[in-house]
Amino acid sequence: MSSLTEARVSEVRAFNRFYTKVIGVLQSGMLDSPYSLTEVRVLFELAHAERMETGELRTLLDLDAGYLSRILTRFENDGLVERERSAADARKQLVGLTPAGAATFAGLDQRSAEEIERLLSGLPEEDQERLVAGMATIRGLLAPEGGRKPCVIRPPRTGDLGWVVYRHGELYSREYGWGTAFEQTVAKIVGELDFSRDAGWIAEVGGERAGCVFYVRQDDTTAKLRMLLVEPSARGMGIGRRLVEECLRHAKAEGCERITLWTRDCLASARHIYQATGFRLEKEEKGVENGIEVTEQWWTRDL
């Protein structure tokens, strides 16, 4: 090993020791829970899939089969997961979170977000962006070929709002046949944003814009979730749910008691996200967009 390589190895090891201490990996339980980092990661993956084959979960996390089995047995005893044989192949086992497991993960996820928020709050905006960009670079360089590209959720920057209008117009025209009038509706919503009270988030995958969502304050107690979009190339990565959860966290922090949204029933993926994050359908009615019949829906969630 050359002296230059030794120096680089030493720097990487020093960073590893530093960051594991920062995020509390060395503690007996993550986030003041009785569960280890690996166990919490298993809960994370199960929370983002309705059901998963144990073999798929083992491959995803690169875990020893026996080790994963012991983790799942513990979770089963704690009432957090349930396992069943696959109807398609009895040799395979499916595992998913119970309602208690989903609630446990939601609490851990909230505490994790709060800890990271406290970590970031000590840095100015520019340094926060440098930190997040550096982390994305590390993930991008070390990710296996063909693996998941790093995803960053960030506030809007100059040029993003034009992209939001453009992508809504193009995607919904191509996928659903909605025309210029819909694009004008999105442009009107964007034009009325006031970032002294409103907020927004842009998702980036591999450094490219991949999605967005916006929080629009209505009054002292109510806000709207608006303009959720995920690029086709980034769908299936959990980005839509991450954007919605970011919006909900912000609404709670702002003291909102209720958040609403408007969508259409043909947007099935978005609807599943809204249902999974606690929204309920309040009303619906027939409408028309570019000569195409649509079903308008209004969803709400109490915070």
Give the DSSP H or E segment for 285: strand 280-289
This prediction has a pTM of 0.56
Give the DSSP H or E segment for 21: helix 3-22
pLDDT at 267: 92
Give the DSSP H or E segment for 101: helix 99-121
Computed over every residue of the chain, the mean pLDDT equals 89
pLDDT category, 221, cuts 50, 70, 90? very high
The residue that leads in pLDDT, 87 or 32, is 32
**Residue 151 confidence (pLDDT) above 60:** yes
Question: Which residues are CB-neighbours of 276 under 8 A, at least 6 positions away?
Answer: 241
Distance set, CA 192 to CA 154, 183, 218, 226, 258 (Å): 20, 14, 12, 12, 21
Q: What are the residue ranges spanned by the domains of the chain?
A: 3-117, 148-302
Q: Are 152 and 137 in contact (CB under 8 A)?
A: no
User: What is the fold, at CATH topology level, of the domain defined by 3-117?
Assistant: Arc Repressor Mutant, subunit A (1.10.10)
pLDDT at 148: 58
Question: Which residues are CB-neighbours of 227 under 8 A, at least 6 positions away?
Answer: 164, 168, 186, 189, 190, 212, 213, 214
Distance set, CA 48 to CA 60, 94, 97, 224 (Å): 13, 14, 10, 24
pLDDT at 113: 87
Nearest to 101 by CA among 83, 80, 82: 80
pLDDT at 156: 93
Average pLDDT rounded to a whole number, residues 31-53? 85
**Residue 152 confidence (pLDDT) above 90:** no
Give the DSSP H or E segment for 56: helix 54-61
What CATH number does the domain located at 148-302 have?
3.40.630.30
Average pLDDT rounded to a whole number, residues 72-98? 87
